[in-house]
Amino acid sequence: MELLSPDRWKDYELIDCGAFEKLERFGRFITIRPEPQALWPKVYQEREWEKLAHVKFIPKSSSNGEWKKLKEMPDQWEINYELRIKNEELKTRNKEQGTRDITLRLGLTGFKHVGVFPEQAVNWDYIYSYLNKLHQPKFLNLFAYTGGASLAARAAGAEVTHIDSIKQVVNWANENMQKSNLDNIRWIIDDALKFVKKETRRGNKYQGIILDPPSYGHGPAGEKWKLEENISEMMQAVLQLLDPDKHLLILNAYSLGFSALVPENLLRPYANRNKSQLSIGELYLNAKSGVKLPLGVWGKLEK
């Protein structure tokens, strides 16, 4: 099992976490947000947090709240991430494609999120590296949020389909594409499971797929999603979309109590049938204060 964490992001830093909160720097601005996985005491004193932070999220319920500004800062700002090819042979052969910047617009939303899940950066690099090896690959991003993985795939030259159920989030992802000087991502507002079933009936295949489903959610027509109840059906359908000869699939699962053995058991039958390489692990963020914040499990198929 592999533990993966982004380790070279200039515009992001987890400073400290504990007491069900996390202190993070996004570019020039520092936020305090709730974090249910941070069960331990804070390393830094409360006064240090308050002195550093520009803004703090105050929950009003389990799903929303408001931001309290402690220092002057904008409601929206931008950060960059440098995609980097991991394959040394490819990097030597295509030096001009070795790195590529993407730009993400961040914002203070009423749902504690700011527009990016920083731990996912390790997946962006992997997607960028893998798809750079292929000629005109097709890539599918499900539960795609503001599109970090979509940008990585498009930067690698893939034909990208981006699926999310919320129009405002898809518009946000489109804005990120434009800010990153990319184009021609296919935007679809749909329930992810419904879309996958339609693609299965059409017989479409993809060389790359990533899905990062929430614990709970709703489709655009009110379709209910619950990870524990729907993930098995989803994966059976998604695996039918994989190109059997050449593929990368990444399944993320952020849910309290989920083991990395869950994605392993969901993906193992396909790996055995198609002789794919299967790996599993956890994503985490390494805080400046020295603690490690777990942020979900993952499973990966590669061939």
**166-180: per-residue pLDDT in tens?**
999 999 999 999 999
Domains of the chain listed by start with CATH number: 79-302 (3.40.50.150)
- Residue 50's pLDDT is what? 95
Q: Which residue's structure tokens are 């240090």?
A: 48
- Residue 79's pLDDT is what? 98
- 297: which 2 tokens? 């499990």
Q: Which H or E run includes 162? A: strand 159-164
Q: Model pTM? A: 0.94
* pLDDT tens column, 85-134: 975 545 444 445 568 999 999 999 998 999 999 999 999 999 999 999 99
Cα–Cα dist 164/187, whole Å:
8
DSSP state of 129: H
- 220: which 2 tokens? 């655009």
- Other C-beta atoms lying within 10 Å of the C-beta of residue 263: 26
DSSP state of 97: G
Q: How many residues can be counted in the chain? A: 303
User: To 10 degrees, the CA torsion angle through 188, 196, 159, 152?
Assistant: 80
Average pLDDT, the chain: 94
